[in-house]
Amino acid sequence: MSVSEALKSIVAVRSSIPDDAFTASALGTRREGSGVVIRDDGLVLTIGYLITEADEVWLTTQEGRVVAAHALAYDQETGFGLVQALGHLDLPAVAFGDATEVQVGDNVVLGDGIGQAVQANIVARQEFAGYWEYLLEEAIFVAPAHPSWGGAALIDENGRLLGIGSLFLQVAQGKEVSNVNMVVPIDLLPPILNDLLRRGSVDKPPRPWLGAFTAENNGSVVVMSVAEGGPAAKAGLRAGDVISDVQDGEVEDLADFYRKLWATGPAGSDVSLRIVRDGREAWLRIKSSDRSSFLWKPHLQ
């Protein structure tokens, strides 16, 4: 498949989310982005935040054909989402490339579902820690950035899929600021695909989740906010708290915080955090949860 042919198999994704859904206030109730056909029966790979808690999903081909779809699965660890078209898309599946072989400087194309494509280059492959308790060991970063990055497909020079667009970031390099897209590598999907298709989630114990939105500031992990009704909020964690230790281990950075948190056991484990608040140290004990238990789950009619 050529690059131009692969780009035609990218579709627009539009979803509706109930007003009372857990993610409605943060992500909105009307979400739009892209997805790419990965199976000839209309299975579409997208980025999960577009379809989390969706009760209605529509796919639109670049020829303008609109097809109803079902939000099939969302994997919180990778961020991938799967959508099944309920009608015929009549688009070929895009073959997977090997994201582990991607090199900085490689020529790629990032395309969306309305026909916009950006000729780009790989500018980095490195760890990425997101403020929403998310960590990729080796994300792909491309520039220039695509203006409609959510669910956009990263295509190599042979028309193969390398990953799915997730974020728009601004990276400072001296006095200059570069706009880049973070892409979730496609090699994370095959090991979990059968589980996602069979049961809608990966068959392993869910990670402990706190509902704390955190960031690094001058070498410290600082709480920006907490999810209303989440474990951190119930335990009294507040915006401005600095997290210095998890259990008996000092926190080195945001990624280290997540690794130590997830090492405490499965969801439901008690997590002890040492925090610094207004210059004073204190310990908080938080009963972690399974994040998916807070999410509204649509049913196929």
What single DSSP character describes residue 75? Answer: -
Options 2.30.42.10, 3.40.640.10, 1.10.150.120, 1.10.760.10; which CATH number does 212-294 get?
2.30.42.10
Confidence band, pLDDT 50/70/90 cuts, at residue 299: low
The two beta strands, 220-226 and 66-74, are unpaired
For range 149-153, the mean pLDDT? 97
- pLDDT higher than threshold 70 for residue 300: no
Q: Is the sign of the CA dihedral 213, 154, 35, 16 positive or negative?
A: positive
Average pLDDT, the chain: 93
* Residue extents of the structural domains in the chain: 3-93+193-199, 99-188, 212-294
End-to-end CA distance of the chain: 35
Token reading at 249 = 């281990």
**pTM listed for this prediction:** 0.93
Helix (H/G/I), strand (E/B), else coil: 186: helix
Q: What's domain 99-188's architecture? A: Beta Barrel (2.40)
| 298 confidence band (pLDDT: 50, 70, 90) | low
Which residue matches tokens 């579709």? 11
Q: Which residue type sits at 154?
A: L
Report the pLDDT value the prediction gives residue 301, as an integer from 0 to 100. Answer: 43
pLDDT, one tens digit per residue, over 106-129 is: 999 999 999 999 999 999 999 999
Domains 3-93+193-199 and 212-294 share a fold: no
Task: Quick: pLDDT tens for 210-259.
Answer: 999 999 988 899 999 999 999 999 999 999 999 999 998 999 999 999 99
Is 3-93+193-199 in CATH node 3.40.50.720? Answer: no
Residue 108 token pair:
């790629």
